Amino acid sequence: MIRGYKKGFTLIELMLAMSFISVLLLSIAMVGIQAGKMYSRGIVLRDVNQAGRDISDTIRRDFLQANAEKIDTTGLRVPNNSNWSTGRLCLGSHSYVWNNPKYLDDPSLLGGNSLFKVNGNPVNLVRVVDADSGLCKKDASGKYPETVDLAKSSNLLRSINSGDGSIGVHEVTLEKITSDNSREALYKLTFTLGTSKMSEIRDSSCKAPTEDDSNFEFCAINKFEMIVRTNG
């Protein structure tokens, strides 16, 4: 009786094939994870850049309606490593107020400071109808107003879509370019927007992925510079 010879894979060949497939699947998974991280970071960067463009347009329009002699920068506070809790810029008809991202991230650090609030809720950046620049005037105790009615204000920053933190104002500078004292003037305005998770930020930049407390895919900071003009 002659037995038929049946061809098949040896155990070693099967192990090699399974190893190859495992490596292939693992590579595909790693590529998928990396693509997901890049997508998440892209969303955060997009939100920061879009917020910067929208804020720039709004501020530019308000400056065009402002009188250079009435602009009050006494409430400007930079940078975020100092103990200021709120910063403010008053243009005569509208004012801008923002809270320090450090305290938005961890209110327990406030100590004796206070956050600016609208209807009892802290804000990142708010534009307020403020005809007499009242938000830049201190009361008898030497404090700026710390709240405003919702009807007079509009939030200029919203939470990032990912839900991991929110966008905050990290720095604002305003430099007058023209030297005369007329109602019309040119200014250089610089402001920095970024995520408000301060544990993920060092020296106005996101920590590298290899550093402790890094969250590179959900961290973004960008500086915006613009020339604005007052029409008086």
| 187 within a domain of the structure (yes/no) | yes
Q: Is residue 27 a part of any domain in this protein?
A: no
Mean pLDDT (whole number) for 13-26:
83
Cβ-based neighbours of 24, under 8 Å, separated by 6 or more? none
Provide φ and ψ at 28, rounded to 5°: -60, -40
Assigned domain for 21 exists: no
Local confidence band at 30 (pLDDT 50, 70, 90 cut-offs): confident
Grouping H, G, I as helix, E, B as strand and the rest as coil, residue 83 is coil
C-alpha triplet 179, 63, 87: angle, nearest 5°: 90
Count how many domains the chain has.
1
**Dihedral angle over CA of 22, 24, 30, 35, nearest 10:** -150
pLDDT bracket for residue 175 (50, 70, 90) = very high
Indicate the DSSP class of residue 159: B
At residue 60, the 3 state secondary structure works out as helix
Mean pLDDT (the chain, rounded): 84
The pLDDT value given to residue 162: 45
Q: Which residue has the higher pLDDT, 57 or 74?
A: 57
Task: Provide the residue range defining the domain that includes 48.
Answer: 37-230
Q: Is residue 219 assigned to a domain?
A: yes
- Residue 75 maps to a domain: yes
Q: pTM of the predicted model, to two decimals?
A: 0.80
Strand partners, 98: 87, 125
What digits encode the pLDDT tens for the residues 82-137?
677 889 999 999 999 999 888 888 888 887 778 898 888 888 999 999 988 999 98
